[in-house]
Amino acid sequence: MDIYNPDGSFLVRTLNSRLQPTGPQYISAAKFVINVWRSVYTLNYEAIVGPNNRTEPSINHWTPTPPLFDLPLEKQPNFDNHDVTAVRADFAANGVTLTASTRIETVSESGFWYVIDGSKTYDVIRSGSSLQVYSIPAS
C-alpha cells in the first residue's frame, strides 16, 4: 500500500515480505476501508483455505503509529502562530527537548504542522479533541 502526504508526494510503501523478501513489494487489494482511528482494512485477492477447506479471500489490517504524546486543543495557537518558545515548552513538558534552532512549518491550515529540529521532524496533527504529536523516523 502506498501512502502519500497531503500535498500528493510519496511518503512510504507498506512491505509484504511474503511476496518478495527484498526490493519493491506490493499488496493487491480488491477493497479497503479506513476507520476513524486511521486503521486500514483490506479485502485481498490472495486466496486462503478457510473452514471446511473452503477457499476464501484474505484480509489485512494495518494499525497506525500511535502518537508520541497529545496536547490539548488550547495549544493550537502556538502552532498557528509559529510560537517556537511555547512549543518547546509543550514538548519539554512531555519529555522531548527541542533545540534553539527548532522551527514550525504549517502543512495545512486545518490542523497539520511540522516541528523541525535539525534532522528530526515531528508531525503535529489536529485529531478530534487533541493535537497528536508523532515521531516518524525518516525512511
- Is the pLDDT at 130 greater than 80, yes or no? yes
Look at residue 119 in the predicted model and tell me its pLDDT: 87
DSSP strands (E only) in the chain: 2-4, 10-13, 29-34, 40-49, 55-62, 69-72, 103-108, 112-117, 120-127, 130-135
Considering only residues 36 and 19, tell me which one the structure prediction assigns the higher pLDDT.
Answer: 36
pLDDT band at 93 (very low <50, low <70, confident <90, very high): very high
The CA-based dihedral angle spanning residues 20, 21, 22, 24, taken in that order and rounded to the nearest 10 degrees: 30
Q: Is 41 helix (H, G, I), strand (E, B) or coil?
A: strand
The pTM score is: 0.64
What does the alpha-carbon distance between residue 24 and residue 17 come to, in Å, rounded to a whole number? 10
Task: Using alpha carbons only, give the angle 94, 96, 101 rounded to the nearest 5 degrees.
Answer: 135
Number of H helices, E strands in the chain: 2, 10
Mean pLDDT of the chain: 84
What does the alpha-carbon distance between residue 63 and residue 55 come to, in Å, rounded to a whole number? 26
Greatest mean pLDDT range, 17-26, 40-49, 80-89, 129-138: 80-89
- Is the pLDDT at 139 greater than 90, yes or no? no
